[in-house]
Each structure stands twice: as C-alpha cells, then as structure tokens.
Chains A and B, each alone.
Chain A
Amino acid sequence: MSITLKNISHEYNPGTTFATFGLKDVSLHIADGEAVGIIGPTGSGKSTLLQHINGLLRPTSGELEVEGIRITSEKQNLSELRKNVGLVFQYPEYQLFEETIAKDIAFGPLNLGLAQEEVDQRVKEAMDLIGLDYESLKDRSPFEISGGQKRRVAIAGVLAMNPSVLMLDEPTAGLDPLGRSQLLETLRTLHKTKKITLIIISHSMEEIASISQRIILMKNGEIRMDKPVEEAFEDVEFFEECGMDVPVISRVMYELRKAGKPLSRNYASVEEAREAILQAVRHA
C-alpha cells in the first residue's frame, strides 16, 4: 500500500472573487513506511495536502490513490480511508471531550462498531504506544492532566483506529522543550516499531530534520523541493528565496563551507556536524 497523488489541484471558493488555489498540480508518491516531513511558510498548502490524503478535502482536479482507495473530485464514501489514514490536527487537545481518558480514546473505535472487548484492547495498545500508563490514567479526566499528556491522549485517539498512515500537523507546537523532545522520541519509536507511514508538518527545521527521512518543501500550493533529508539543506539560497531558513546547524556548516573550509555537507544534527568539524580540524 502507498500514497500516490497525480496532478492534484484544489481551489478554494471556486468561481468567486475570493478564488485561490490551495494546491496547484501536486504529484507525489509516498511509499509504505516512509517518514516524510513537510515544510513551508504559513499558507503554503501543507495542511490542505494532508486533508486530501485522508479524504477530508476532495481535489478540484487530479486524482489520488491512498492505501488502495482511489479519490477524485466525485463524491464517494471514504470511511474506509479514514480508518487507515489518521490525521492529528494542530492543538488536538482542544477536541478532547469525554469524562475519562479511556473513553476519549475509545470514541473512534466505538464508532467503527467494534466490540467493547476489542475497543478496550485498542485503547490499551494506543496508550502504550504513545507512552501513557493505562492503569493509572484510564479513569482520569483528560482535563486534569498536563498539556503534553493531553496531546498524547489526542494522538492515542487516532492511533486506536489502527491507521497504517499517521499524519500530524505541528505535533509539538506550544509544548515545552521536554514535552517536545519526548513526543518526537515517541513518534520516532512508533515509526520504527510499527512500520507506520509518518507524515509530519512542522515549522521547526531542527525538529523536521531529526525525524524525517525525506523532506518536502511547499510554497504557494506547489511542491518546490522533494529530497532525502541528507540532501535537503544543501541549497541554502533556495530556502532563503522561499522565505525559509535551514536548520541552524546546517547554516553553520554552510557558512564554514562558504568561507572555503573543507566540509562536505550541510549536516543538520549536532552529532554529524561535530564529527565533520573534528575531522576537518585534525586535517588542518
């Protein structure tokens, strides 16, 4: 199973004076189990893209095939698709509403018409995957736990649907540094152990570099760059042109290289940069 978009365009308010393109002729293939980071300025079409992949929006033209289901501009039943493709919105904890954490997470699976036993099992598994202790938390109110935990509950609600694709829109926005790094670690583990396809939108280049195998840059509804993470930050001028910045460590590497220093790549992680610089110093 995989995700294929063929010449997708999406027009908001078509036929009116407010008509704008949310997506313009986007083609894309995402293989099973990939971890893809999507970056771009606000309003570049990142969220619109995710909403197409789980069928919340239909394309104005073009077609998609997601996990074996074909989506066009025609109306169709997409409940099967939404089971397979989970989307976690920005600030998902605002949508928590049940009396207990377990009930909140169970809401989706119950709606699928699963038996209570199966639902309980899924709630347990989802909490386990996202790093929430089932026994101590299941009966507590989702409103009396910390912001970072609330967000995990919201993500667990999506995981309980057993999706093969998990998409998250700014999953760490507003969390404190510890909450951010813990959630990223959980997502990395989830990707590795569950072989789930991960698609993440983030404004933080450092974060996106640390979790993605592949990086897609969007601007004005178009895909402007699509590269493996190792090559994504080589063209710093292009990022500037798009009104974006590369990760701060890549910028350090870039400036050293611009000064003629013998370094081979704009590494994004502290560890890679440290090793490359140490090697260069020893050879100097």
Chain B
Amino acid sequence: MIRLDNVSFTYDEDEFPAVDDVSLTIEEGSFVVLIGHNGSGKSTLAKLLNALLIPTEGDVWVEEMNTKNEEYTWDIRKNVGMVFQNPDNQLVATVVEEEVAFGPENLGIDPAEIELRVTDALEQVGMSEYRHRPPHMLSGGQKQRIAIAGVLAMQPNMIVFDESTAMLDPQGRNEVLEAIENLKEKGMTILLITHFMEEATVADRVLVMDKGKVVMDAPPVEIFSRVEELREYQMEIPQVIELAHELREQGISLSEDILEREELVEELCPLL
C-alpha cells in the first residue's frame, strides 16, 4: 500500500509546485490509471512514489516506509518498480536475459535464484523465446515488455508505468497493455500514467490531475459520465463515450455507464 499525506513538490527553478497538496492512498492489488495533460504533475507524482523525488512538503509512505528516510530508499525502489516512456533509454545489456537479470544482480541475489526470476519474469510478459536475443533487434512493444520483465525480476509489490505506451505503434501498445492486464490479474498493484483515455476504461479507479492537484478520483464509469468536467481539464473524451453522450443529449435513451464499443452497439441495436 502507498499513502500520500499532503504531498507537495516544487522544482528548484520553479515558482509554483508541480504537485500541490495531494493526499491519496493506493490499495494493494488495485489498478489505478492517472491521466492529465502535459505539465499537470503526473510524472512528478510518479517519481515521488519510489523516492526518485522527495516531497518538499508532506510525506509519502510505501509499506510504512517514509521516502524521506534514506535508509529505506533501496527497499522502496525494490517495492515500487518503474517503467518509463522510451524503451531505448532503459535497456543496457546486449542479451535479453542479462537485461532482465541486471536489477537482481545489483542486489547481490544468488545466481540460482536470479535464473528462476528471469525465467518467470520473461514468461509473465510472453517473451521467453527471446531470452537469448539482443534487445536492440526487438520491436518497441517487445522492448517495453523486456523492461517490464526487468522490473518484475525485482519482485516489486507495485509497478508504475509512466507513459510506457506513448511511443509505441498500435500493435506494441496492445502487447504492453495485455502484459499489464495479466499482471493485474495476478494481483500486482498498478499505476498506469497515460495520455490515452481509452486505456483508462479498464481501470478500477481513475485519477485526473490538473495544475498539480488530483481533481477527479472515481471509477471509470463515473469519470466518463462527467464529460463536461473532463473537457474543462482539456481531456480528450474517447469517441465511443463522446458519441453515446451526444446521442443522449439528443434524447436517445442510453445508459450512463457505456464505456466500450460493444456496450454502445448492444444498447443501440434495439433502438434502430
């Protein structure tokens, strides 16, 4: 579990805080999506979760460890893994299995144990057959799955995905999202930061950030029923939800909880 108590963070050169008095709890095993436009503070928030940044005010607790306490820094980073945006900036080794073993090796873990972890991590992201390949020959989606395997080999309780699908093509995006959903099924706590609103529909909970504050915090059905509010925060409405909303405004009776294409088609069919 992660808890933020009145957390603010201001970058040295800035006048205003990038994260402004945020309090929230992320429960064990939950799948939380964090959205917001550029500069809303979402990446800063992510970096506060694993002590890459330390709050200028307030406290971040990871499993009862305060990120301010440097003694805990490595335990916290083991606990909260991060996958970033650009797969090419995160890969260091020349062979996939070495890449995945890199983290646990740095922790001084027994080689036999590392072997088991690497096998298991590659299996979980569906990349076992690429074990002996050089990472730079892989597609973007495959590279990101290797980055995820590297994080999994650290056996974290939570993984933060900081726009990890932003630079991928549709196929790569689907591969990574599928890997994330698999992890969720297995009980991993997930925070997915994204620009793509469609990715928010499968979450347990959606957070919207604006000017450093969490301005919306609700399950996706509720978030997407607040179309006007989302527009105010310059969020893009997924087109299926937009179409349902506009049809409702024209007096067509459609339920408020339509998120996916299938649901819209199913409700429209009897009306036509």
Contact = CB atoms under 8 A, between A and B. Distances in A.
A175 B196 CA distance: 10
B261 interface: yes
B269 A256 contact: yes
Contacts of B272: 256, 261-263, 277, 280-281, 284
A206 B239 contact: yes
Interface in B84-114: 85
A59 B103 CA distance: 46
Contacts of A284: 271-272
Interface string B213-237: 0000000000000000000001110
A176 B36 CA distance: 8
B186 to A, nearest CB: 28
A274 B37 contact: no
B246 interface: yes
**Which of the listed residues A146, A179, A270 has the most CB atoms from chain B within 10 Å of its own CB?**
A270
Interface string B233-272: 0111011101100110010100000000100110011011
B243 A249 contact: yes
Interface residue tally on A, bucketed by range: 35 or more
A195 B264 CA distance: 39
Contacts of A173: 166-167
Contacts, number: 90
Contacts of B250: 274, 278
A277 B239 contact: no
A284 B268 CA distance: 12
Interface string A244-260: 01011101100110010
Contacts of B170: 203, 245
A147 B43 CA distance: 14
Nearest to A284: B272
A252 B236 contact: no
Nearest to B174: A245
A255 B38 contact: no
A274 B167 contact: no
Given A173-B167, A251-B261, A255-B265, A278 B243 contact: no
Query: Chain A interface mostly helix, strand, loop or mixed?
Result: helix
A163 interface: no
Nearest to A205: B170
Interface in B164-212: 166-167, 169-172, 195, 197
A181 B236 contact: yes
Contacts of A92: none
A274 B269 contact: no
**Which of the listed residues B85, B171, B268 has the most CB atoms from chain A within 10 Å of its own CB?**
B268
A252 B171 contact: no
A278 to B, nearest CB: 6
A164 to B, nearest CB: 30
Nearest to A271: B246
B252 A174 contact: no
23 contacts: A41-B169, A42-B171, A146-B39, A174-B167, A175-B195, A177-B37, A177-B235, A179-B38, A180-B236, A247-B239, A248-B240, A252-B243, A252-B261, A261-B272, A270-B239, A270-B242, A273-B243, A277-B268, A277-B272, A278-B247, A278-B252, A281-B271, A284-B271
Sorted from nearest, which 10 A-B pairs have the closest CB atoms? A177-B236, A261-B272, A176-B38, A176-B37, A255-B265, A178-B234, A42-B169, A280-B272, A176-B195, A274-B246
